[in-house]
Amino acid sequence: MKPHAHSTEFSLHTLLACPACEAKPALVGGGIAGPWNCEYCGRTYRKAERGYHLVPDRLPEPLERHQALWEALQKNGSLCYELAPELNLFRKGSTEAEAFIDFMKLEGVVLDIGCGPQSWQPAYIDPAAQIEYVGLDPLAGSSLREFTFVHGLGECLPFVAAGFDNIVISSSLDHMMDFRRGLQEAARVLKSKGHIYIAMHEVDDEAENTQLLRRLADISLRTARQVVNGFRTMGLRRTYDYLRQATSLRIPKGAKDLFHVYFPTVEDVTHELFKNGVAVTKTGDCPGFLLLQGQKR
């Protein structure tokens, strides 16, 4: 199978479903270009210039109470990821990106949940992989994508069941309002015998104060690295503008930090995957991250 940029065989519209309906019914009509309709609720969806817009107009009831928190975190993320994607996303050729590439064996139709707002395909996806790549993110971004992009939520995936051969979740679970629901959705859209690949921040069972001190040290080190890397890759003016705005951000009430809702443990993730028919079959690590591979029954 050829990469999506060169393929005319793959048509994402055949996998689209209504994200607002709990049963996720398939959308009908419209062909490749849309619009597509939900026969259950009557909503209509269209393909926008920058990708498929499939964010539900109203969050499902269990998530609705987190609406204000979600919007505040999205605002923080939008500023940092879009002003300085070079400093906040996996960098091409980095140790982390290369480790995740080596860990994964991607094939067929691949869904990347939390691909980021940048225009280019994420650095942890091997550009030589013979796959049909679909990236999904709650941040719409401001540029046209070089890949098939869906503006949507991981907790309300706008796809029919069992539509994807592989699922990738790279440092995205801790951004979700409900990571359990996100994993449930990922398992739902994964084909039987398909694989899910997860890169997640390391979390252990240390006392909360110790964890907070470690987190503060991590943030301080990351900020120092951002200053150095910023000068190298973005120049003085862009780095100054970015840091000036980023340092004015505030942690929303109920969040762990500026960008994250909750840091699940490996045990949390493994347990939730197992509940949804996915068994962890391989683990790995790279600086700052744990890597998991799961296979659906």
Here the CATH number for the domain that contains residue 144 is: 3.40.50.150
Task: Give the total number of structural domains in the chain.
Answer: 1
Query: 91, 170, 181, 167: which is closest to 134 by C-alpha?
Result: 167
- Please state, rounded to an integer, the average pLDDT across all residues of the chain: 85
Q: What is the pLDDT of residues 151-210, one digit of tens each?
A: 999 999 999 999 999 999 999 999 999 999 999 999 999 999 999 999 998 765 554 454
In a domain, residue 129? The reply is yes
| pLDDT score at 260 | 87
In a domain, residue 51? The reply is no
List the helix and strand counts (H, then E) for the chain.
8, 11
Distance CA 148, CA 233 (A): 27
**Strand, helix or coil at 270?**
helix
Long-range contacts of 1-8 (CB under 8 A, 24+ apart): 1/107, 1/108, 1/130, 1/131, 1/132, 2/130, 3/127, 3/129, 3/130, 3/131, 3/132, 3/133, 4/131, 4/132, 4/133, 4/134, 4/147, 4/148, 5/146, 5/147, 7/132
Q: What is the largest CA-CA distance in the chain?
A: 55
**Would you place residue 83 in the very low, low, confident or very high pLDDT band (cuts 50, 70, 90)?**
confident
In a domain, residue 12? The reply is no
In a domain, residue 214? The reply is no
User: Angle 179-189/266-275 helices, nearest 10 degrees?
Assistant: 40
In a domain, residue 119? The reply is yes
Q: What is the pLDDT of residues 109-151, one digit of tens each?
A: 999 999 998 889 999 999 999 999 999 999 888 789 999 999 9
In a domain, residue 181? The reply is yes
Does residue 6 surpass a pLDDT of 60? no
pTM, two decimal places? 0.86
Element holding 213 (H helix, E strand)? helix 208-233
Q: What is the pLDDT of residues 223-233, one digit of tens each?
A: 545 555 555 66
In a domain, residue 11? The reply is no
In a domain, residue 104? The reply is yes
Range of the domain at 169: 59-203+259-296
